[in-house]
Amino acid sequence: MENKVTTTDTLPKIRLGSSGPMVSRFALGGMTFGAEANEATAHSLLDVFTAHGGNFIDTADNYNQGVSEQIIGKWGKKRGGFDDLILATKGRFSPPAGSYGASRRSIVRSVEASLKRLQVDAIDVYIIHGWDKDTELTETLSTLADLVHAGKILYTAWSNLSGWQLQKVVSTARAYGFPIPVSLQPQYSLLERGIEQEVLPCCIEEGIGITPWSPLGGGWLTGKYGADIRPTGSTGLGKIQTGV
């Protein structure tokens, strides 16, 4: 099913999944904010992105121990808020709040901490950063539902799920009347196409949007690396290659 695209801005907009918000086709990820990109650089990138019609900003509570969220929050306050933007963040791994996993305790603590760092009253798209085998899925989904009802998050989403895990999330949410995720964030690029086997067909069948991470293969597909130019530890890909 083809989503209708509007072109009132430089970057066209598309609905996130079948029931999510309207977002720019390109999102700006904040994983490097506070590490490779300092605050000034990050704010400049955010300025350029939004000036060209981008409205979808993605981060996570564990990106550089919460610094990414803090940087985005400061930028948002400086510009007068995020009312014209869609802000997504994630929780699941150990953030500065000191909690872990997808349990009720962890999610509530993580959401409250992210709200403070981002300086917002609600998170547009809240993403569970990965499967938690130690927590009952109904506990995770009911907690997300409570947070939606409380107005602290507006839409739910997941990241890094296999095909069966995603289908279980959708089927369980539907059975209990919990919010169905509007999107999934998997690794996907010309170098990593594993989701085409089961995950992507599940998303298409269930009307779930795809917001891939590392679409340029960590930089390999940009053309800036070659036999004589290798990734260094000062880059995200370099840290992976060197084990930093």
Distant-in-sequence, close-in-space partners of 58: CB < 8 Å, separation ≥ 6: 27, 28, 29, 30, 88, 89, 185, 211
* Cβ atoms of residues 168 and 138 within 8 Å: no
| CA-based torsion, 87, 105, 162, 62: positive or negative | positive
The residue annotated as part of the active site, out of 63, 100, 155, 225, is 63
Q: Is 63 a catalytic residue?
A: yes
Q: DSSP letter for 183, please.
A: E
Instruction: Tell me how far the alpha carbon of residue 213 is from its chain's centroid.
Output: 8
* Cβ atoms of residues 108 and 138 within 8 Å: no
The two structure tokens encoding residue 25: 């086709």
H-state helical runs in the chain: 39-51, 67-79, 104-118, 137-149, 163-176, 199-206, 236-242
* Cβ atoms of residues 100 and 69 within 8 Å: no
Distances (CA, A) of 165 to 100, 141, 162, 168, 240: 19, 13, 5, 5, 26
Q: Please give the positions annotated as active site.
A: 63
